[in-house]
Homo-oligomer: A and B are copies of this chain.
Amino acid sequence: MTNNYELYKVFYWAAKTGSLTQAAKALYLTQPSVSHAIKQLEERIGVTLFYRNSKGVSLTQEGKILFSYIEQSQILITLAEEKMVALKNLDSGELRIGGSDSLFKHYLLPFLEDFHVKYPGIKLHLNHGTTPEVISYLKEGRIDLGVVRMPIFDSQLEVTESIELQDCFVAGERYAELKGQALSMEQLMEYPVILFSRNSRVRMAITELFEKYGHELKPDIEVGSVDLLIEFAKRGLGISYVTREFVAKELKEGSLFEIELDVEIPPSKVGLMVMRNMPISAAATRFIEVVH
C-alpha cells in the first residue's frame, strides 16, 4: 500500500475535531478538499473510517483503530518539528569542540562561558587532543569544530584565523641573571630547556625555527601540559617555552619573566577548523561568530 501520508494528516484533524469543516480550518483548506481527502483515504485502504452525521463526523470502529496509531504518529511529527525549531533557534542542541586543554583553558573559556549563558539549552562537549587527533575527530564527525594553532594545511578543512598568540621563553627567579638580556640561540641552549611534548604544534614551530638557524633544540624536560610547563619554570627547573598570553598572570606578578631572544619568534595564530563542504550546525556557526 503506497499511500500519501498527507492524507493521514487530514484524517488526524478530521478525527480530532470531529468535523470536516473544522479540520479544513485547521489545515487552511476548504471543506470539499477535506471531504475529498478523507474519501480518497477510505478508498485506498478499503475501509470506511467515519460516520457522517448531520452535525459532523465520528469515527467508525475501524476508524478508531486507525486513529490510535495515527494520533501517536502525528504527535511524534509535531514534536519533531518543534525540536527542529528549537535546534534552529539554539534553544536545544549540542556543540562538540575539539582542541588542546591549554587553548580551552586560556583562550576559549570566556567564550564558552558567554555562549553557555546565552544559549543554556546547548550542551557543550569538549574533546581534548593533539592537532592531528582533533583533525581526525573532525573527519570522523565526532566534533563540529576544532580549535588549534595555525598553520593548518588540509584541503578538506576550512580554517578561519582567530587571535594571534606570541610564544616565548620564560624562567623563574633562579635564572634572574638573564633578565633584560637578548640571548642568542646558542646561549639559550646552554640552559635546561623545558618543552611541550613532541606532537604539539607549538613544539614543532620552535624546533623548526631553531633548525632554520642551524640548531637542534633538544629539551631537557618534556611535559604534557601547559600547567606543568609553567610550574616547572617557576620552580627553577629550566627555561620553558610557553605562550605569552597564557602566562600573563605569572609575568605580571613576577613569578616568571620573559627571556628575550636575538631572533624574532614569529607569532602564531589560533585557527577554528570545520570540515569544508560539510554543513555546519547552527550552534557551531553561532559559536564561530561569537569567537570571531
Contacts and interface: CB of A to CB of B under 8 A. Distances in A.
Interface of A: 1-6, 8-9, 27-28, 45-48, 51, 58, 60-62, 65-66, 69-70, 72-74, 76-77, 79-81, 83-85, 87-88, 93-94, 141, 144, 278-279, 281-282
A28 B27 CA distance: 28
A69 B51 contact: no
A81 B46 contact: no
Contact of A93 (B3, B4, B62, B282): B62
A81 B80 CA distance: 22
Given A45-B84, A87-B47, A6 B8 contact: no
Contacts of A62: 84, 87, 93, 281-282
Given A58-B141, A72-B73, 10 more contacts: A1-B81, A5-B5, A6-B6, A45-B88, A60-B279, A62-B87, A66-B84, A69-B80, A73-B73, A73-B80
6 contacts: A1-B81, A2-B27, A46-B88, A47-B84, A60-B281, A73-B77
> For chain A, what secondary structure do more than half of its interface residues adopt (helix, strand, loop), or is it mixed?
helix
Contacts of A94: 61
B51 A279 contact: yes
Nearest to A58: B141
A77 to B, nearest CB: 5
Number of copies of this chain that the complex holds: 2
Given A1-B85, A45-B88, A51-B278, A76 B79 contact: no
B144 A61 contact: yes
B83 A76 contact: no
Nearest to A85: B1
B66 A83 contact: yes
Contacts of A74: 73
A152 to B, nearest CB: 21
A77 B5 CA distance: 9
Contacts of A47: 84, 87-88, 282
A281 B62 CA distance: 8
Contact of A83 (B5, B46, B69, B93): B69
Which of A51, A74, A84, A281: most chain B CB closer than 10 A? A84
Which of A27, A46, A58: most chain B CB closer than 10 A? A46
A103 B284 CA distance: 74
Contacts of A27: 2
Contacts of A141: 51, 58
A149 B264 CA distance: 111
Nearest to A74: B73
Nearest to A11: B80
A9 B5 CA distance: 8
